[in-house]
Structure 1
Amino acid sequence: MPTTLIFAIGRNWRPYLFSVLIPVLFLCTGRAQAGVGLGEIAATASDGTITLFYPSQAVEQQLRRGRFVLNLAERAEPVRGNGRLIVISHGSGGGPWVHVNLARALVEAGFVVAMPQHHADNFMDDSNPGPDSWALRPAEMSRAIDAVGRDARFASLLTLDKVGIYGMSAGGHTALSMAGGRWSPDGFRQHCETSLEEDFQACVGLITRLTGGMLDGIKKWAAMLVIRHRFSDATPREHHDPRVAAVVAGVPAAADFDLSSLEHPVMPVALITAGQDRWLIPRFHSGLVLQACKSCVRLAELPAAGHGALLSPLPPGLTGLLGDMLNDPPGFDRSQMAEVDQKIARFFEQQLLQK
């Protein structure tokens, strides 16, 4: 503001100056300090609820969602950020609240974040995880992009020609599918045929575990009986959405992919790996993708992290097999995950905001 104008306003220049500069500063940067808005798009006959996080000037309030206490501005009016959308695919039995810290980092960078609830593989209904869910998820992500684009609150704030995808665990499988990865249920069967004992939890989930006891043989026999019956279809599954321009896959399920389909992805792809992951052992999953892919980058390597490191916040009080798979291993420093969230945000900024 010119000095002459400030003096011309006289004693009342301060409120006038702040009233002009504060909105200008907010609009000029996607990293302006503002509240994180929380909204949703209601479920339809074919799709679950889509949870939305977005830039807002509203004041955040303390909210309780299940076991989580969060600070968000519920049903706040959205404001324009950087004009880009990130869609997050949650893991098996997951939901939006375990990715709030990442959502905050993305919103503070100016992004709108959408998290669709995947059919029959979410925290409210985990009745059908695994390959059956993986086959549905990519189309659910595309329909989530459509739904946000139709929403009157966001239609004028977003340009959907360059959308980012993030996914963790089963959501990482979704992300790799959105990047052009091709897989089949029979590929899952083949992996479990050859590596059932070494990668047991990836093949059977949380139904049971191997203990080294006399029942292990029966468990392996029963697991393969079910897997061979359910997952014999060799028809390739693939999904293409030209709006997707960058992908981040965190500790992804990946053993069933035709790795040649991920050798030269048509978009930037980044991976996050956890060295102590006992649910999706890296050498069968993320490690294979990094070996095959010529252009993929490892955005973060966490040698002391377990499978649940990317759940942020981590659900409190996890016990039993679920706790063993998701709780942090001894010696893991969870404070570093804030920097991982920032790396994800910067990756999407570099890939989606460049002209």
Structure 2
Amino acid sequence: MPFSLLIPLASPVLALAAMGLVQATSALPLEVTTRPNTISAKVTHPAAETSVQVGVRQISATSKERGGDIEITVWYPAQADGEPVMLGESVFFEGTASLRDASIAERKFPLVLLSHGAGLAGNPQAMSWIATPLASQGFVVAAPTHPGNSGRNRSAAETMKIWLRPGDLSDTLDAIEKDPTFSGHIDTGRVGTLGLSMGGGTALAIAGARIDPRLLAGYCDTDMRNASLCDWVRQSGVDLHAMDMQSAGRDNSDRRIRFAMAIDPAPVDVFDAESFADVSIPVSIVNLGAQGKIPTTADASGLVKAIANSSYTTINDASHYSLFAECRPGAAEMAEAEKIGDPICMDGGGRSRRELHAQMIDMTVGAFSQAVKADAANP
């Protein structure tokens, strides 16, 4: 089944606005919109008995492989100071409130390394809808900006170097452990990773799965796997067969990671099937859509048998587009007028995106809370 993992935008100005870049402000230089103090950064989650303030802060990590620094967005349980901001707000999508540079709450927290997708979802702030509730439940959530996936420096060549993404997460963990704000507030024995879409593949890779270089090289030989992504790759003059396939097949696992969760991981069909047996940590896998409607490149149903300590769930009335934030009024019509070509506001039928997000948040909080308890019982 053809699938659009990355959505090209017809208008360059709209492309920037869609990712929040037109509204950029200072300390968080990309997807932040400052709001008056009437905005509440408290998040009340269905599983929570009380509301918790959520702070957000930008730090950076040095990446030798990337040849420079990578930006990291960190959400965390916070005290009631800081500047109210909206993250991820754009012409298409609603934002999520948090407190910029708020003081972190006084105790240690488990850490979730969060990996984003590509295109419209190709930045950390696009995942605020799931990162903020996680932080409200007592997790520090750190998301690197994977270079080349979106924004002004968008690059098909960099996007397709998917073997570099797990290193971004490891570099993020290194930076968090050294950062003066967070180092004393992280329980380094309770670190997990969560990935959405292409980020789901990143989560599997850092857990121990390895890319099959031959499968990656041939990924865009046809349009049957991922039409819009491969069209962009070809238009950019990128030859996947000429990429560094020796590096592509390397082991990117990080033994500091104790649990992984992947939601609609893609491209899941470029992994070495035998390498899943090397994944020793617990892994939770979620597909969006009913069987038969899940795109082949994101269909992870076979992994539950391949990974020893894994679980697999589907949300039948969701779609891959359910990973986007809630759409603003008129967003679907605007996307159609701009010839984006993908139904970014369409879910699987039935429930609203807000309801689907609530279920995904419940599943994520539950999975990571269970993993944290298991780690505490088996240090």
TM-score range, shorter chain: 0.7 to 0.9
Q: After the TM superposition, which of the residue ranges 52-61 and 225-234 deviates more from structure 2?
A: 225-234
Q: After the TM superposition, which of the residue ranges 181-190 and 244-253 deviates more from structure 2?
A: 181-190
CA contact (8 A) 2:163 2:248 kept: no
CA distance in 1, matches of 2:204, 2:306: 13
Aligned to 1:85: 111
- Aligned: 1:273 with 2:298: no
Pairwise mapping of residues 211-222 of structure 1 onto structure 2 (< 5 A)? Answer: none
User: Percent identical across equivalent pairs?
Assistant: 25
- 1:26-68: CA deviations, max 9, x gaps? xxxx975221101110465623210010001216724365515
CA distance in 2, matches of 1:225, 1:134: 14
Aligned to 2:192: 164
What is the SS of the residue equivalent to 2:138? coil
Equivalent position amino acid for 2:250 in 1: R
What is the SS of the residue equivalent to 2:80? coil
* Number of residue equivalences: 311
Pairwise mapping of residues 335-350 of structure 1 onto structure 2 (< 5 A)? Answer: 335-350=355-370
Deviation of 1:108 after TM superposition, in Å, equals: 1.7
Matching residue within 24, 33, 54 for 2:76: 54
Distance 1:173 1:33, change over 3 A: same
Q: After the TM superposition, which of the residue ranges 288-297 and 136-145 deviates more from structure 2?
A: 288-297
Deviation of 1:224 after TM superposition, in Å, equals: 12
CA distance in 1, matches of 2:293, 2:109: 36
Equivalent position amino acid for 2:286 in 1: I
Distance 1:128 1:118, change over 3 A: same
TM-score normalised by the chain length of structure 1? 0.76
Please tell me the root mean square deviation across aligned C-alpha atoms, in Å. Answer: 3.4
Deviation of 1:120 after TM superposition, in Å, equals: 1.5
Deviation of 1:139 after TM superposition, in Å, equals: 0.9
Matching residue within 349, 352, 355 for 1:331: 349
What is the SS of the residue equivalent to 2:153? coil
CA contact (8 A) 2:113 2:192 kept: yes
Q: After the TM superposition, which of the residue ranges 31-40 and 149-158 deviates more from structure 2?
A: 31-40
Give 5+ residue unaligned stretches, structure 2: 1-47
Deviation of 1:267 after TM superposition, in Å, equals: 0.4
CA contact (8 A) 1:148 1:154 kept: yes
Aligned to 1:40: 58
Aligned to 1:353: 373
- 1:103-126: CA deviations, max 9, x gaps? 122112100010100111233432
CA distance in 2, matches of 1:236, 1:168: 21
Higher relative CO (Cα under 8 Å, sequence separation at least 6) belongs to 2
Equivalent position amino acid for 1:40 in 2: Q
Deviation of 1:198 after TM superposition, in Å, equals: 3.0
CA distance in 2, matches of 1:186, 1:279: 26
Equivalent position amino acid for 2:74 in 1: L
What is the SS of the residue equivalent to 1:342? helix
TM-score normalised by the chain length of structure 2? 0.71
CA contact (8 A) 1:277 1:305 kept: no
CA distance in 2, matches of 1:293, 1:224: 36
CA contact (8 A) 1:167 1:174 kept: yes
Pairwise mapping of residues 71-82 of structure 1 onto structure 2 (< 5 A)? Answer: 71-80=97-106
Q: Flag the structure with larger Rg.
A: 1
Deviation of 1:234 after TM superposition, in Å, equals: 8.4
Distance 1:206 1:55, change over 3 A: farther
Distance 1:278 1:89, change over 3 A: farther
Distance 1:266 1:153, change over 3 A: same
Deviation of 1:77 after TM superposition, in Å, equals: 0.4
What is the SS of the residue equivalent to 2:259? strand
Pick the structure with more helix per residue: 1
Distance 1:76 1:224, change over 3 A: closer
CA distance in 2, matches of 1:223, 1:152: 41
Pairwise mapping of residues 1-355 of structure 1 onto structure 2 (< 5 A)? Answer: 32-42=50-60, 44=62, 46-58=68-80, 61-63=84-86, 67=90, 68-80=94-106, 83-93=109-119, 94-128=122-156, 132-190=160-218, 192=220, 196-201=222-227, 204-205=229-230, 207=232, 226-230=239-243, 236-253=249-266, 254-263=268-277, 265-275=279-289, 281-282=295-296, 285-298=299-312, 300-313=313-326, 316=331, 317-319=334-336, 322=340, 324=342, 326-329=344-347, 331-333=349-351, 334=353, 335-354=355-374, 355=376
What is the SS of the residue equivalent to 1:146? helix
CA contact (8 A) 1:50 1:144 kept: yes
CA contact (8 A) 1:86 1:113 kept: yes
CA contact (8 A) 2:318 2:348 kept: no
Distance 1:207 1:114, change over 3 A: same
Distance 1:64 1:233, change over 3 A: closer
Distance 1:224 1:132, change over 3 A: closer
CA contact (8 A) 2:288 2:316 kept: yes
CA distance in 2, matches of 1:290, 1:50: 31
Aligned to 2:14: none
Give 5+ residue unaligned stretches, structure 1: 1-29, 209-218
